[in-house]
Amino acid sequence: MSSFNKKLWVGILVLAVLAPIGLVLPRSFQSGDAWGEWGTETLGKLLGYVPEGFKRTADLWKAPVRDYNLGSESASLPAQSGYYILSAFIGIVLAAGIMYVLSRMLLKRK
Amino acid sequence: MHIPDGYLSPQTYVPLYAVWVSFFGVALKKIKNELAAKHVPYLAMAAAFSFLIMMFNIPVPGGTTGHAVGAGIVALLLGPWTAVVAISVVLVIQALVFGDGGITSLGANCFNMAIVIPFVSYWTFRAVKGKDAGTRHIFAASFLAGYLGLSVAALITAVEFGIQPLIAHGADGRPLYAPYPLSVTVPAMAVTHLLAFSIFEGLVTALLFTYFVRHENIPLYAMKRGGL
């Protein structure tokens, strides 16, 4: 690996370790969800009802690692920060891995 | 900006799926023509970087959060077509593995973040940069590229939300999907993005791009002569 590539990978690893900033900062300001990304319960509270079509499709998919949290929702903030870093690494491996395989396939078909 | 399941009607998400799949197909062809083995690590890193930068949620007054996408910088460094593929891959992982963004709305989310941002960013940069620009000029052009890319995507997302009550409502007149009209969705998305998240996307784009221009002697897509 060239020293330039090594430098970039180090940058990516540093970002992964710092990722919990993106979890802790919103918590400390008690920010809720991103606008328009509320779950069924929150939307019900906001509106006083849950739209019919929403009810049918909202829980279509059960993601294995919901909210980048490998533990329970009630896990402590330090624990969740650890899970957040783990999620970052899962994301790096999957994103880089899929792109690697995909571009290798494209190269072969040239 | 990751629209969850339940917010978009099929009349909205089905066509956007079709648009995304078509763009993705064209992108694969375009990339294949220019791809060399030495590019492969950069494509992998671009996707990893975008995944990570989206984890940095920024709180803003009003009790909401947002984040940069990193699609602007990927478009400037590696080209908008590469960004279409890299950011799409990230959005698929986020939806399937982490429940960030819906499955039905995946096409819409990819349209907003993996198509709109890369092309708006790239075109903005090319339009503003001019010929033989200095570092400061490049910084300004790349900031504007990231800023406008995310802002336009946020406005399009707001329109997708806001047209739902017009498209689909039940017998009682209540909306079936996203409940708020355009008069609510557009200001909500515009204010938070124009005043906060897009500035962050602009800074990420400009700081990284000027770093690459200054310190690294490698060809950068947006600095090529000609281009798209």
Enter the ipTM: 0.96
> What is the model's pTM?
0.96
* Amino acid identity for residue B6 in this structure: G
Which chain B residues contact residue A39 at CB under 8 A? Answer: 4
Q: Report the residue of A94, A100, A105 to disrupt the B interface, i.e. the one with the largest count of B CBs within 10 Å.
A: A94
- Determine, for residues A99 and B50 on separate chains, whether the beta-carbon distance falls below 8 Å: no
- Residue B222, classified by CB atoms within 10 Å of its CB into exposed (0-12), middle (13-18) or buried (19+), is buried
B50/B36 Cα distance (integer angstroms):
22
Q: How far apart are CA B121 and CA B141, in angstroms?
A: 9
Q: pLDDT class for B13, splitting at 50, 70, 90?
A: very high
pLDDT of B89-132, one tens digit each?
999 999 999 999 999 999 999 999 999 999 999 999 999 998 77
Question: B48 to chain A: which residues are within 8 Å by CB?
Answer: 12, 91-92, 95-96
Q: How far is B179 from chain A (nearest CA, A)?
A: 7
B2, B94, B168: residue with CB nearest A37: B2
Yes or no, beta carbons of A37 and B179 under 8 Å apart: no
Chain B residues closer than 8 Å to A26 by CB: 57-59, 65
Closest to A34 measured CA to CA, from B202, B165, B100, B18:
B100
The pLDDT, as a whole number, for residue B10 is 97
Contact B65 A8 (CB under 8 A): no
- Residue A52, classified by CB atoms within 10 Å of its CB into exposed (0-12), middle (13-18) or buried (19+), is middle
Q: What's the CATH code, domain B10-223? A: 1.10.1760.20
Tokens of residue A76, six digits: 């402590």
B178 CB-near residues (< 8 Å, 6+ apart): A36, A51, A54, B7, B8, B160, B161, B162, B164, B165, B185
Q: What is the mean pLDDT of residues A66-79?
A: 92
Residue A29, min C-alpha distance to chain B (Å): 7
Q: Where are the domains of chain B?
A: 10-223
φ, ψ at B82 (rounded to 5°)? -65, -40
Question: Which residues of chain B neighbour A102 with C-beta distances below 8 Å?
Answer: 43, 85, 89
* A63/B49 touch (CB, cutoff 8 Å), yes or no: no
Q: Is the pLDDT of residue B226 over 60?
A: no
Confidence class for position B216, pLDDT limits 50, 70, 90? confident
